[in-house]
Amino acid sequence: MGTIKQNRANKILTSGKLDATDGLNNDIPASNIANASFSNVTAYPPSAGAIVTKVASDPPSPSDGQVWFNTTSNVLKQYSLVAGSWATGNNMNNARHALGSAGTQTAALAFGGAEPSPINSTATEEYDGTSWAASGGLGTGRRGLAGCGIQTAALAFGGYITGFQSATEEYNGSTWSPGNPLINARTSSASAGTQTAGLAWGGDEPNPPGPNSNKTEEYDGTSWAAGGTLLSGVAYQGGAGIQTAALSFGGYAVPAAISTTEEYDGTSWTAGNNMNTAREAPGEAGTQTAGLAFGGFTGPGPGINLTATELYDGTSWTSNPTGLNTARQSLAGAGTQTAALAFGGTPPVTAATEEWTSGLQIQTITVS
């Protein structure tokens, strides 16, 4: 803890205000301050109560960044995000990449994608937090499709078979049924939202306009309508959030992987701060203000498959000290910034599953 300074007003100005700029102050040297940390604080300064709340017990549901003084334990505490880690989970039944996904860490959904054989998969699997179980297959097997929603109410759209696809399908927890198609057939687009309020953007489209589309479409549970265009066309990007608050990050824009971030407010896209590592085909989870990106590919050419994991706080990206256990691209993700799931990917084509746990945690504030 450093020197404590107290300025004193020593003059009344003609305006009537007190002036404390002429050097009168009381300085307490750091060497004379016995309490070197915020642990075991025995006296709580009354003035601090205007900034930090005093409570007898920790709040049951604190918010990120909240600070308080616990009068029972006499410590200053905060609720903030700490470094996370990936743990190996049980494999999917079908190894695949370029697949669609929906749900949470303990109730995830994997569908479609590219398997070693068949190349365009219809397979659907459900994850219960421990293992994967087969469920009803897609009506149209395809790779490079996108998805959103939850395990019992998911949406699948777009993709590639021998050409670009516009097909939309809805999942009810056991079977898929056809929905109205996308306006623009596309593959490798990003997605966000729910079955009744979905969002699709970017991706590759047939020529014209060709790769790196800037088009956005919104789904209302029945049909797709055009939304605001991206600032820059991109494919193989990550996506998170909901229809009215979505996050787009990374991807491929000719001729290389990019680190660009854009945010959607339900009408238009605006630029956000760049990722720390440019990447295409990453896995993703979370929301617009609490996003998670993992894996991907540095491209072009031979490139590097990544393990790198980054967290977005609504303003900037932070690199996590550790990444995925298995470096891969074209993988799927589900869940939140604090409890996510990564599954599938390539190369080689894998069924690997990993579970992410991070920390909004209560911490005691100390001074080292």
- The rounded average pLDDT for each run of 10 residues, N- to C-terminus, in the chain (368 residues) is 51 54 53 50 54 84 79 82 89 98 98 96 98 98 98 98 97 98 98 98 87 96 98 97 98 96 98 98 98 94 92 95 97 97 97 89 66
- Give CA–CA dist 79/62, Å, rounded: 7
CATH topology classification for 83-358: Neuraminidase (2.120.10)
Neighbouring C-alpha atoms within 13 Å toward the C-beta of 42: 3
Residue 43 has phi, psi (to 5 degrees) of -130, 125
Q: Would you state the pLDDT for residue 43?
A: 56
Q: Which phi-psi region, left, alpha or beta, contains residue 16 (left: φ > 0; alpha: ψ -120 to 50)?
A: left
Q: Would you state the pLDDT for residue 207?
A: 77
- Give CA–CA dist 268/34, Å, rounded: 55
Nearest to 343 by CA among 152, 129, 77: 129
Give the predicted TM-score (pTM) of the model: 0.79
Q: Is 295 helix (H, G, I), strand (E, B) or coil?
A: coil
Pairing assessment for the beta strands 190-194 and 176-179 based on DSSP bridges: unpaired
Quote the tokens at residue 95. 């190894």
What residue ranges of the chain are covered by domains with CATH 2.120.10.80?
Answer: 83-358
Q: Would you state the pLDDT for residue 119?
A: 95
Q: Is 116 helix (H, G, I), strand (E, B) or coil?
A: coil
Quote the tokens at residue 76. 């200053």
Nearest to 200 by CA among 162, 156, 251: 156
Q: Is 55 helix (H, G, I), strand (E, B) or coil?
A: strand
Quote the tokens at residue 180. 């109205």
Q: Would you state the pLDDT for residue 124?
A: 98
- Give CA–CA dist 183/97, Å, rounded: 25
Residues recorded for the chain: 368
